[in-house]
Amino acid sequence: MTQTLKEKYLKEIRPSLQKELGLSSVEAVPKIVKITVNSGSKDFKTDKELLAKTKDWMSKITGQSPLETKSRSSIAAFNLREGEVVGLKVTLRGDRMYDFLQKLISAVLPRLKDFQGISRRAFDKSGNYTLGFPEQIVFPEVEYDKIGRIQGLEITISTSAKDPKTSLMLLLALGMPFTKEA
């Protein structure tokens, strides 16, 4: 049986990161808190079939039903009314989070055309990493004939690290394929 990413983190990665960072407690070692997957479109308010198809493929790739995000205020320039559906999001935690990350690292990223690694610059100041995909068909669960149209999605990996450098060390240890340093 193959070792899951969560087991590998608990047994191998966490102790080695503790030594490398010089931390006294194993609980102080950075960990992944949650993974958020979201997709938005201005056409959700008019095209209910597109909304249903987007919900379907998002639930297939994440294993969880997406939550509708609605506009907070009306903006006349964008022809947007308060309370209209503008996006869908899924927040993954626990085992589903580790399973999704393992699938992302081992199956999805290698499927990208001319893949050379992901950027090291997409960290925010809190140590969270955001990765964008221009099309959802890189996921093996998405069937091209059933999606309606190509849509982008964004994946945010939230960590307990306090800075981008520590977060980079954690994601490298987990196997994220970053680009080589220049």
pLDDT tens digits, 36-90: 999 988 888 788 888 888 889 899 999 999 998 887 777 777 776 777 777 899 9
- In sequence order, which ranges of the chain are alpha helices (DSSP H)? 5-8, 14-21, 48-62, 94-103, 164-174
User: Residue 182 has which token pair?
Assistant: 């220049």
2 pLDDT more than 70: no
* CB 37, CB 90: distance < 8 Å: yes
- State pTM to two decimals: 0.88
Helices (H) and strands (E) in the chain, counts: 5, 5
Residue 75 is predicted with a pLDDT of 76
* CB 90, CB 64: distance < 8 Å: yes
Distance, in Å, from the CA atom of 54 to the CA atom of 33, rounded to the nearest integer, reads 25
User: Residue 38 has which token pair?
Assistant: 């979201």
Buried b or exposed e, range 143-181, using 16+ CB within 10 angstroms:
eeeebbeebebebbbbbbbeebebbbbbbebbebeeeee
Residue 1 is predicted with a pLDDT of 33
With a pLDDT cut of 70, the percent of the chain lying above it is: 97
Closest CA to 37 of 126, 130, 122, 118: 130
Hey, which CATH number is domain 5-19+27-174, 3.40.50.800, 3.30.470.20, 1.20.1250.20, 3.30.1440.10?
A: 3.30.1440.10
